Structure formats: C-alpha cells, structure tokens
C-alpha cells in the first residue's frame, strides 16, 4: 500500500496541528515529531502492519501520541535548558570551578561578617555545626536561624547569570 502525495500532505498538516496542540506552538521540535510519526507510519505500511487504508489516520494519530510522549519524557529527563552531552560546554571543568569560586567569594565579601563567617565555616570549610556554635557562641536554634538568614541574603546577592548553585548540606 502507498499513500499519494496529497493524502500524505493532509496527514502531515493534521499531525502538525496535533503536535502544536500538545507541545505548544513555540516548540522547536514540532516538525521532528511530525516527521518521526510519518516515518513510522510509512514503515508500517511498507511492512504491511496496517491492513486497511482506512485505518492509516487512526494509526498515525496513535503513533503521534506515542512520539509526543517519548519527546516529553526526553525533555523531562534532560531538563528544559540542558544541552545534550554531545554539545556540552567546551570550557574546562577547572575553569568553571574557578569562576564559581570567584563568584562565591565576591558575594561573601558583600555579606555581613557574621553571615560570611557562618557560610564559609559550614559550606566551604565543612565544619560541624556544634564546632561552629561553640566558636561563635550560638545555640543550636540560633545557628539554624542565622544560617537560614545568611543563605537568604547570599541568594539575593548571588549573580543570577551563574546557573550553578553552591552545593551543601541542609
């Protein structure tokens, strides 16, 4: 069985409308989803997996649903702004780490002495909470409040352009 070019174009338009509806009109991969659906449909026709020409539309619609779901799972796994590994950043990890350290150091200087000291001790020097409390003369509750507030102040100053966050304990 073969599809004539006019019928194929009609299916393509309907599939494009369906993909736009489910993925949003601004999705850059709509044409890829439609193309993948049509390829699967044509392969099914060639392999005679579709027995009636009347059921091609239903087959393509179901296949399009599957391709859309596969695309959404792929986006969910990778994250909306993530690039695939093959297009990974060309900047060496050491350079990125240095830039991150410089950004963190610049923010810590802008904080009050106490906030900077608490964040440095807990996150950068990885000292125990009890040790920090003894050195600064804080109770456990005071330390938790001070750490929380210091982190909030840090977040307000930390450059928005820097995508990585300082990893630490909660």
Residues 6+ apart with CB under 8 A from 136: 114, 117, 118, 143
Q: How many helices (H) and strands (E) does the chain have?
A: 7, 0
Residue 21, Cα to own-chain centre: how many angstroms? 22
Q: What is the pLDDT of residues 47-73, one digit of tens each?
A: 988 888 888 999 999 999 999 999 989
Domain boundaries, the chain: 5-84, 93-157
**SS3 assignment, position 23:** helix
pLDDT at residue 161 in the model:
45
Q: How confident is the model at residue 168 (pLDDT cuts 50, 70, 90)?
A: very low
Gap between the Cα atoms of 138 and 113, Å rounded: 15
pLDDT at residue 164 in the model:
44
Token representation of residue 70: 């596969």
Q: Would you say how long the chain is, in residues?
A: 170
Q: How confident is the model at residue 165 (pLDDT cuts 50, 70, 90)?
A: very low
CATH 1.10.10 given to domain 5-84: no
Residues 6+ apart with CB under 8 A from 157: 107, 110, 111
CATH architecture of 93-157: Orthogonal Bundle (1.10)
């Amino acid at each position: 069985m073969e599809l004539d070019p006019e019928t194929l174009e009609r299916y393509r338009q309907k599939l494009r409308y369906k993909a736009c509806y489910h993925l949003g009109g601004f999705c850059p991969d709509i044409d890829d989803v439609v193309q993948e659906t049509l390829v699967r449909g044509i392969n099914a026709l060639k392999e005679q997996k579709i027995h009636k020409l009347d059921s091609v539309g239903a087959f393509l619609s179901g296949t399009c649903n599957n391709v859309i779901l596969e695309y959404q799972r792929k986006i969910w796994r990778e994250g909306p702004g993530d690039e695939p590994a093959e297009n990974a950043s060309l900047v060496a990890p050491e350079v990125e780490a240095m830039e991150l350290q410089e950004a963190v150091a610049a923010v810590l200087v802008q904080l009050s002495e106490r906030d900077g000291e608490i964040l440095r001790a807990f996150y950068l020097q990885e000292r125990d909470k009890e040790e920090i409390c003894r050195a600064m003369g804080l109770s456990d509750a005071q330390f938790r409040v001070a750490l929380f507030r210091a982190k909030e102040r840090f977040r307000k100053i930390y450059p928005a352009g820097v995508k990585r966050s300082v990893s630490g304990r909660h």
